Amino acid sequence: MELRHLRYFVVLAEELHFTRAAERLNISPPTLTVQIQEIERTLSAQLLNRTKRSVTLTSAGEVFLSEARRVLKQFATAENAGRRAGRGELGRIEIGYVASAAYTGILQDQMNQFTQNYPDVLLKVREFPMDKLPQLVADGDVDIGFVRLPMAMPQLLSHHVLIRDHFCLALSVIPGVEEKSEGPVTPHEIANASFILPEQAFGTFQVASRGGFTPRIVSTPGSLLAVLTQVSIGNGISVIPSALRSVVNLPGVVFRDIVGEPIVSEIAAIFRSDEVAPAVRHLISQIQTTIA
């Protein structure tokens, strides 16, 4: 039995007249009769009471009509969903991010903009360790990642820079530096400091290179909030993204610029270069139109 059989039966049940039903279906009455007979043979049940003057549903016909309508409605729903998914209007996108992407607001901006345009696409957003996120995207476990550059990435990934930031110092009290509490700090002044290393270590080693020293790393606690907590209790200083200055306020932590050319740090979206999922492609297109 095919969907057309269900349609034929539903129309006939609505008209209770073979000629009128055949006209609605754009087929001949004899053809309709044959199709209904095929249904009854398949079900081994009589669905219609037929006389020369009338057509009525049997009890089995009434039950079958209800189920046929339900199936046709479900098929129409599935058909529509399939078309919308093919256009990228439905689906699910796995989003991964590092904390500093959320602190800058770019993650929220991108998600809100996409949801306005594609409200029926589910965005599942989770934080991941920065060193694992590129491979998760490459393996297909995550569709798009929001990361902080520079970082190593598999060759099959592409990226688009969304925000250009720079590194600064997070510190509590440093002997010999506190009198310059409002001014920038030179790399040489912190050569003997203890460093709390964030996930993005690039800034720390750039500062050390400029100061001609090897940083003494005492802790690698993970998240930026954990890093700043370590700084706040006096365990050391940290080189962190400048974006945190305006969104994080912990007791005992102050932020200072670093003397010299700014050490650039960028927030970027990473994604598979050969992405085929329509909904994901829509989000990639949106991202690529964003000017850093």
Same domain, 177 and 242: yes
Q: Provide the pLDDT for residue 181.
A: 54
Contact 251, 225 (CB under 8 A): no
Domain boundary among 87, 111, 131: 87
Q: What is 194-211 written as a DSSP string?
A: EEEEES--HHHHHHHHHH
Question: CA of 174: how far to CAs of 146, 165, 253, in Å?
Answer: 34, 25, 11
Q: Provide the pLDDT for residue 91.
A: 85
Same domain, 183 and 245: yes
Same domain, 242 and 274: no
- Report the CATH number at residue 173: 3.40.190.10
Q: What is 219-238 written as a DSSP string?
A: EEEESHHHHHHHHHTTS-BE
Same domain, 277 and 141: yes
The segments of the chain whose pLDDT lies below 70 read 89, 173-181
Same domain, 152 and 273: yes
- Report the CATH number at residue 34: 1.10.10.10
Same domain, 131 and 144: yes
Q: Provide the pLDDT for residue 179.
A: 45
Same domain, 151 and 281: yes
pTM over 0.85: no
Same domain, 200 and 272: no
Same domain, 12 and 68: yes
Q: Provide the pLDDT for residue 173.
A: 63
Closest to 282 in 3D by CA, of 149, 143, 155, 106: 143
Same domain, 68 and 155: no
Same domain, 284 and 217: no
Q: Which domain holds residue 115?
A: 91-162+267-289
- Residue found by looking up tokens 């079900």 in the block: 43
Indicate the number of domains in the chain: 3
Within 8 A by CB and 6+ apart from 156, the residues are 138, 272, 273, 274
One-letter amino acid of 122: L
